[in-house]
Amino acid sequence: MTDVAQRTAEQREYWGGAGGERWVAQQSRRDAMIGDFAEVALVRAAPAAGETVLDVGCGCGETAEVLARKVGATGKVVAVDISVPILTQARQRLASFGNVETVLADASVQPFEPASVDLLFSRFGVMFFADPVAAFTNLRRAMKPDGRVVFVCWRSPAENGWMTAPLSATARYLPPVTMADPDQPGPFAFHDQAKVTDILTRAGFAPPTFEKQDKMIDVAGGGGVEAAVRSAMELGPTARGLDGASDEMRASVAEALRGFFAPRVKDGTVELPAATWIVSASAASKAGVANA
């Protein structure tokens, strides 16, 4: 099995199993923490009535619902995800929208209808491609010559303490959690502007623009230390490191998290920094027009 095939299989297994089930189980808490990261990106994307939108890594359907309302009855949203449990949840959420098609597929290889898409949109769904150049090349084939892409991705681990700080506080109790290798699929794979520019331009897009979006995330949801502990143990890399952990290990991790969060509580909140890029590009690069 090639490295690309192996990485693709690993992503499919994780999101189709424990990762996807955890994502669905924590939907409400996750939405409260990171849901508004799409707001500015949706403004930049400017979905319009009658347009066709491809929502890559649609998750439980939050962004697809907004997009469906924007494009209206004359438009269409194709919501794609690789995870059975996640897409099942999305289908329930989107059942009343006649202009939404949900597709269980790997967007990197799915044969979408050529030249049919006005807008390619994604909130945290494109950083997991095993071969990102091939994936975006495939996605660009689906786009109209004047189409556009807008997506949100995480910046560097150092700028995203809401994910990395709890993991560092508990690292001595956990097996190694590989989450920050920029050369591998994962949350931080698109943190580097030069790398993302290279991926998109090699795939035929125009050079992208990058807009910084910085927020403070309340990992406690207003619930204080114990809520923050539960959040860290159920969402993100610390939770992944606890897969299959013993009760003793879980207790040790919980105690370490309490020690980390306690001095950071203010009025029930525990705020930690989060940082993303909003990446925008046109499908109509000079090379792309020539090859269209």
Helix axes 247-261, 224-234, angle to 10 degrees: 130
Q: Indicate the length of the chain as a whole number.
A: 292
pLDDT (tens digit per residue) in 245-281: 899 999 999 999 999 999 999 999 999 999 999 999 9
232 within some domain: no
d(CA 44, CA 212): 13
Phi-psi category of residue 88: left, alpha or beta, with phi > 0 → left and psi -120 to 50 → alpha: alpha
236 within some domain: no
Residue, of 59 and 209, whose pLDDT is higher: 209
Residues 18 and 84 sit within 8 Å (Cβ to Cβ): no
Sign of CA dihedral 273, 124, 278, 199: positive
151 within some domain: yes
In degrees rounded to 5, what are phi and psi of residue 14?
Answer: -65, -50
- Counting residues of the chain whose pLDDT is more than 90, the rounded percentage is 71
137 within some domain: yes
Residue range 174-198: mean pLDDT, rounded: 81
Q: Which residues contact 175 (CB under 8 A, 6 or more apart)?
A: 241
pTM of the model: 0.88
- Domain residues for the domain of 137 are 3-160+177-218+276-291
156 within some domain: yes
Sign of CA dihedral 281, 98, 37, 134: negative
pLDDT of 98 strictly over 70: yes
Number of domains composing the chain: 1
